Amino acid sequence: MANYTPKPEHKFTFGLWTVGNIGRDPFGEPVRPALSPVEIVHLLAEVGAWGVNFHDNDLVPIDATPSQRDKIVSDFKKALADTGIVVPMATTNLFSDPAFRDGAFTSNDPKVRAYALHKTMHAIDLGVELGAKIYVFWGGREGTETDAGKNPLEAGKWFREALNFLSEYVLDNGYGAADGSGLKFALEAKPNEPRGDIYLSTTGAMLGFIETLDHPEMVGVNPEVAHETMAGLNFLHHVAQAWDRGKLFHIDLNDQGIGRYDQDFRFGAVNLKSAFFLVKFLEDVGYDGSRHFDAHAYRTADYEDVKAFARGCMRTYLILKEKAEQFNADSEIQALLAEITADDGSMDGFKGAYLAEKAAALKAYTFDRPALGRRGQPYERLDQLVVELLLGVR
Ligand code: GCO
Ligand code: MN
Ligand code: MN
């Protein structure tokens, strides 16, 4: 019988804001009492998580005095030491306070843009103090409801300037290094919610943007299942592009129906097949960053059910990991894959880099076009085997 117990090497993490979510939504009040950060750390240890991540204000309220901050941070450190829970990632809340109603780094108000830098530098200090190696930027308010009042070129320039400024801040303080070791940034795209439209709305857009920065080696992405899915896109394809560029620094796992509001469901709760292909990809390529569950329990849950939610995220991941191993070892599946990708070597001379002679030979080659079009590929048989594997009858 397989063992689906989470272990530190699985690098399962949750945010303080995830299991700590109190179930407020635009239509209703909180349904669960708030837990303190210390209580959340103990809850995460109880369910078997490896790490906890936080926004600055999940830990230290925005209006805390310096002595309150010090007490909160030392209590939190003690909880980490008592439980062995680590802090792999930290981030800034640049969306809750009314000051950020028109964005943070892309607000039209230069005072807000400066305040966003000020707040983020303090939050980076806090994250580094607690051991974070990845610093996430999710620009929830970086966008518009109307394009009448904000120039997207200016906004893009401000966002770039902010990230350049903060990269230098990290280097200047010895938190990171220009070769990309030390603290790294991970940019998280989302198409909308809470803004009508958020800038740099997909992981692909973020990957393009990163190359325009002064220190692209320090900056990668933090793709989230729900975000590409909200837009009706194939999340796995975005993750693969990020991996290909060496930019998959972090990942936010959850689940989401296409076209729905931002649901943040338990990992695998909606689309098990997509979750399977995602886990298979991460395991096959050897992704070794955090598996961060940026999700929360249904509003109907009490804290016992919140624990079931957290355990479920990790257990589903581990079950799918085992299914991926089965897929790779299944001789019928592998035989179909071999058939689909079969290569008789006759095109070897045309492969690889351009050469003038190669191009000339290829142009002169006579293809049996009707034969190319006649060749079936057994994707139906293969996909049915995947379905049966997932349904547990293989
Ligand atoms: C969302 C986002 C956030 C971010 C978080 C960490 O849809 O609200 O996914 O949960 O991931 O702010 O950066
Ligand atoms: Mn999200
Ligand atoms: Mn997220």
Give the tens place of pLDDT for each residue, 29-77: 999 999 999 999 999 999 999 999 999 999 999 999 999 999 999 999 9
Mark whether 127 and 220 lie in a shared domain: yes
Note whether 219 and 163 are within 8 A (CB). Answer: yes
Mark whether 312 and 169 lie in a shared domain: yes
Domain-ending residue, one of 325, 347, 370: 325
Mark whether 252 and 298 lie in a shared domain: yes
Rounded Cα distance between 54 and 87, Å, is 8
Residues of the chain with pLDDT under 50: none
Residue 155 falls inside a structural domain: yes
Q: Pick the atom of ligand 1 nearest to 136's CA.
A: 13
- Residues bordering ligand 3, an ion, CB closer than 5 Å: 224, 252, 294
Residue 231 falls inside a structural domain: yes
pLDDT at 225: 98
Q: Which residue's CA is minimally distant from atom 3 of ligand 1? A: 138
Residue 140 falls inside a structural domain: yes
Our answer on whether the CB atom of 188 is closer than 6 Å to any ligand 1 atom is yes
Classify each residue of 174-185 as buried b or exposed e, where b means 16 or more C-beta atoms within 10 Å of its C-beta: ebbeeeeeebbb
pLDDT at 2: 73
**What's the number of domains the chain is made of?**
2
Calculate how far, in angstroms, residue 150's C-alpha sits from the geometric centre of ligand 1.
Answer: 23
Calculate how far, in angstroms, residue 167's C-alpha sits from the geometric centre of ligand 2.
Answer: 24
Domain-ending residue, one of 274, 297, 325: 325
Q: 55, 215, 227, 250: which is the annotated catalytic residue?
A: 55
Mark whether 339 and 292 lie in a shared domain: no
Find, among 204, 219, 20, 74, the residue nearest to 135 by Cα. 219
Residue 248 falls inside a structural domain: yes
Our answer on whether the CB atom of 195 is closer than 6 Å to any ligand 1 atom is no
Domain-ending residue, one of 271, 303, 325: 325
Residue 3 falls inside a structural domain: no
Mark whether 163 and 207 lie in a shared domain: yes
Rounded Cα distance between 191 and 198, Å, is 5
Residue 280 falls inside a structural domain: yes
Question: Residue 313: CB partners within 8 Å, gap ≥ 6?
Answer: 12, 14, 253, 266, 267, 268, 293, 295
Our answer on whether the CB atom of 262 is closer than 6 Å to any ligand 1 atom is yes
Find, among 338, 337, 332, 364, the residue nearest to 350 by Cα. 364
| Domain boundaries, position 139 | 8-325
Mark whether 271 and 349 lie in a shared domain: no
Model-wide pTM > 0.95: yes
Q: What CATH number does residue 200 fall under?
A: 3.20.20.150
Mark whether 60 and 128 lie in a shared domain: yes
Calculate how far, in angstroms, residue 319's C-alpha sits from the geometric centre of ligand 2.
Answer: 23
Residue 254 falls inside a structural domain: yes
pLDDT at 3: 87
* 58 catalytic per annotation: yes
Mark whether 66 and 152 lie in a shared domain: yes
Mark whether 352 and 290 lie in a shared domain: no
Q: What are phi and psi of 294, to 5 degrees?
A: -95, 70
pLDDT at 181: 78
Mark whether 200 and 51 lie in a shared domain: yes
User: For the purposes of burial, counting CB atoms within 10 Å of the CB of 167, is it exposed (0-12), middle (13-18) or buried (19 or more)?
Assistant: buried
Mark whether 93 and 205 lie in a shared domain: yes
* 250 catalytic per annotation: no
Q: How many CB atoms lie within 10 A of CB 34?
A: 10
Residue 26 falls inside a structural domain: yes
Mark whether 336 and 310 lie in a shared domain: no
Rounded Cα distance between 173 and 316, Å, is 40
